[in-house]
A = this chain, B = another copy of it.
Amino acid sequence: MILKQFKKVFYFSFMLQQLNKEVLLKRREALEQVIKRRFIYQPAFSLYGGVAGLYDYGPVGCAIKTNIEQYWREHFIIEEDLFEIAATILTPEPVLKASGHVDRFTDLLVCDSKTGTGYRADKIVTETLENRIAKEGDKLAADVKARYLAVIKDVDTFKEDKMKEVIAELQIKAPETGNDLTDPTPFNLMLPTIIGPSTKLPAFLRPETAQGMFLNFARLLEQNGGRVPFGAAQIGLGFRNEIAPRGGLLRCREFQMAEIEYFVDPTEKSTFKKFNKYINLEIPLLSRQLQAEAKQHQPFKMGDAVKEGIINNETLAYFICRTYLYLVEIGINPVNIRFRQHQADEMAHYSSDCWDAEIEMSSGWVECVGLADRSAYDLNAHSEATGQKLQAARKFKVPQPRQVLQVTLDKQKIGKELKKDGMALIKYVEALPDDEKQELSDYFQNHEDKVFNIDGKDLTLNRQLVKFEQKTMNVMEEKFIPHVIEPAFGIGRILQAIIEHSFNQRDDPQKTFFKFSPRVAPVKCSILSVVQSEEFDNVIFELTSSLKKLGISCKTDNAGVALGKKYARTDEIGIPFAITVDKETLTAQSVTLREIETTKQVRVPIAEVPRLILELSAGLILWTDVLTKYPLFAAKEEEA
């Protein structure tokens, strides 16, 4: 049972039930109001009319984002000893040409033939057909409806020609005007810029943070003493010039990502030692086969999923486990998470297996993390583009027999002919890496001479002076191009999921609150006075100072409004713990501590408060621990 295994991380009772789409949809309107009123996030540049697909995070959203990222560092970077780097957003064109983005990172664009308004082709086809089905209902002929549904299912895989055909066949028009649409053309989703006043270097804003890690592979390998496996990680912005940004934070033009590139020896990726501790972890999987059978996701023991060949290898499976645990720990409901395997035709060209962590939200299941086995695609691509080898070496404890192409040079003749330079030529050719020896052998199949430029001199080698032989030799190491397992997190989408899953209403639906995991909560505690009074000022100041000294964010409120109203204000932005200063504080040096979901309160000595909040916020202790240690305080919550 999925839920049982998470007893320890359940801060809140609500997690014991699945949040289905209907529940989330019902709350959505009230949530939108809070998001706006408390500036969790809002459209950017509203003063100037706004720009689609750009959002600013306000104080609450920004703090949650920072906390999600900070815990990502602890959970992944520190735990897995990853190398975190910060590469640049500005990326020169040749890099993205090599990675395939210049040619293939496109969506099909169609425009209104008269007004020029642009639409994403697959979206406009889907929406038009869905509208027709909804509008005409039973009047629609069964075969027509079936055709529509078939197109909707596959439209996102259509290439230009196929898309053009379908648009003509089904008479898809511009929705606002009814005008004809232009022919679908690939629109590159990267934002272009130009670097430098005179070089005028064409460049793009990176569409993913991954490339920066591939380009630094050799430097990082060196930091790891030449050993594989190791992982690189990066938290930063990506940019996509979306044709039709939508869904708030779900599809933005500028978005925060957290990516890992875990480099492994391809011969070793099926066994990953640390995976052992997770073989009994149950995770809801929607495998390729379940999708083919039109079935729902099912919980699998991860050990079994690998054994049965559902997940390609242990390394990939390990990161699925770690991702699942991360999402649950930051407050996503575990039963609203599933891992969906990509269909063979859905995967990126470089990918050999790919799973998306999808989270159920008010808009349905949303891809929030992609976990792909990118094989050796990227390192290969940059090696080819630059001529620089991006390889690691497999070192053997005992010599291993390997087929090796041996080069034998006629040293005497070469020495005679080239004198001193002869030795340089011999040394150079003998030291060529295996693949270049092979190239040279191939070259001599139909060339007589090969000219090498060595230390600035052109030296010629005739094919008569060199012999190539395949031999079995014992070697101590061999070179290989590592494969890459890539977990890529969309921070904005995860934040939206946390907000939706944490949002709740009390009996009075106007009284809303967020049940954030304390780790993620934007502000850890509030310090309130039971009534406004100057005699509390000093206590509040001292307590605030000692909390701040520990780096704990807190919000004070000594205003002249009812305590209930103060609670409501802090509940609305999800401050998990409220400290209240009252008459007894002045005599007994104690305060009350209230938890947001249960609204239960305990009485705690002031001196113990900062440490308590610190441990609660770091997840070192739970509220239930606090309840067993301190006496309950029975106060009626005052009405606002």
Residues of A at the B interface (CB closer than 8 Å) are 38-39, 42, 44-48, 51-52, 54-59, 61-63, 65-66, 70, 73-74, 77-79, 81, 83-92, 94-95, 109, 111, 116-118, 187, 191-199, 201, 203, 205, 212, 215-216, 219-220, 222-223, 237, 239, 241, 243, 253-254, 256, 382, 385-386, 388, 548, 551-553, 555, 618
Task: Tell which of B57, B74, B94 touches A48, judged by Cβ atoms closer than 8 Å.
Answer: B94
Q: Which residues of B contact A63 (CB under 8 A)?
A: 84
Question: Quick check: B253 and A55 within 8 Å, CB to CB?
Answer: no
Q: Name the distance in Å between A391's Cβ and chain B's nearest Cβ.
A: 13
Question: Quick check: B388 and A74 within 8 Å, CB to CB?
Answer: no
Question: Quick check: A191 and B191 within 8 Å, CB to CB?
Answer: no
Question: Quick check: B56 and A88 within 8 Å, CB to CB?
Answer: yes
Task: Tell which of B78, B195, B201, B219 touches A551, judged by Cβ atoms closer than 8 Å.
Answer: B78
19 contacts between A and B (CB under 8 A): A38-B223, A39-B220, A42-B219, A44-B212, A45-B215, A54-B88, A54-B90, A56-B212, A58-B85, A59-B85, A70-B70, A78-B551, A78-B552, A81-B555, A90-B254, A116-B198, A118-B199, A187-B197, A191-B194
Question: Quick check: A85 and B109 within 8 Å, CB to CB?
Answer: no
Nearest residue (CB) in B for A387 is B47
Q: Name the distance in Å between A148's Cβ and chain B's nearest Cβ.
A: 26
Task: Tell which of B39, B74, B117, B219 touches A219, judged by Cβ atoms closer than 8 Å.
Answer: B39
Q: Which residues of B contact A386 (CB under 8 A)?
A: 47-48
Interface SS of chain A: mixed
Q: Which residues of B contact A56 (CB under 8 A)?
A: 85-88, 212, 215-216
Question: Quick check: B51 and A66 within 8 Å, CB to CB?
Answer: no
Question: Quick check: B196 and A78 within 8 Å, CB to CB?
Answer: no
Give complex CA distance A588, B607 in Å: 35
Given contacts A84-B66, A191-B195, A193-B193, A216 and B58 within 8 Å (CB-CB) = yes
Question: Quick check: A195 and B66 within 8 Å, CB to CB?
Answer: no
Given contacts A38-B223, A215-B45, A195 and B51 within 8 Å (CB-CB) = yes
Task: Tell which of B55, B201, B241 touches A195, judged by Cβ atoms closer than 8 Å.
Answer: B241
Q: Which residues of B contact A237 (CB under 8 A)?
A: 89, 237
Oligomeric state, in copies: 2
Q: Which of A70, A86, A194, A212 has the most CB of B within 10 A?
A: A86
Given contacts A62-B85, A83-B59, A192 and B195 within 8 Å (CB-CB) = no
Question: Quick check: A83 and B111 within 8 Å, CB to CB?
Answer: no
Task: Tell which of B81, B196, B243 touches A241, judged by Cβ atoms closer than 8 Å.
Answer: B196
Give complex CA distance A632, B117 in Å: 76
Question: Quick check: A58 and B89 within 8 Å, CB to CB?
Answer: no
Task: Tell which of B193, B220, B253 touches A205, judged by Cβ atoms closer than 8 Å.
Answer: B193
Give complex CA distance A313, B169 in Å: 72
Q: Which residues of B contact A109 (CB under 8 A)?
A: 197
Question: Quick check: B191 and A222 within 8 Å, CB to CB?
Answer: no
Question: Quick check: B239 and A90 within 8 Å, CB to CB?
Answer: yes
Nearest residue (CB) in B for A545 is B79
Q: Which of A88, A94, A192 has the most CB of B within 10 A?
A: A88
Question: Quick check: A118 and B239 within 8 Å, CB to CB?
Answer: no
Nearest residue (CB) in B for A117 is B198
Q: Which residues of B contact A94 (CB under 8 A)?
A: 48
Q: Name the distance in Å between A66's Cβ and chain B's nearest Cβ.
A: 7
Question: Quick check: A52 and B198 within 8 Å, CB to CB?
Answer: no
Nearest residue (CB) in B for A71 is B551
Q: Which residues of B contact A66 (CB under 8 A)?
A: 73, 84
**7 shortest A-B CB distances, which residue pairs?**
A118-B198, A57-B86, A118-B197, A59-B83, A56-B87, A74-B551, A62-B86
Q: Name the distance in Å between A5's Cβ and chain B's nearest Cβ.
A: 19
Q: Which residues of B contact A38 (CB under 8 A)?
A: 223
Nearest residue (CB) in B for A38 is B223
Given contacts A66-B73, A220-B39, A551-B78, A87 and B193 within 8 Å (CB-CB) = no
Q: Which residues of B contact A548 (CB under 8 A)?
A: 74, 78-79
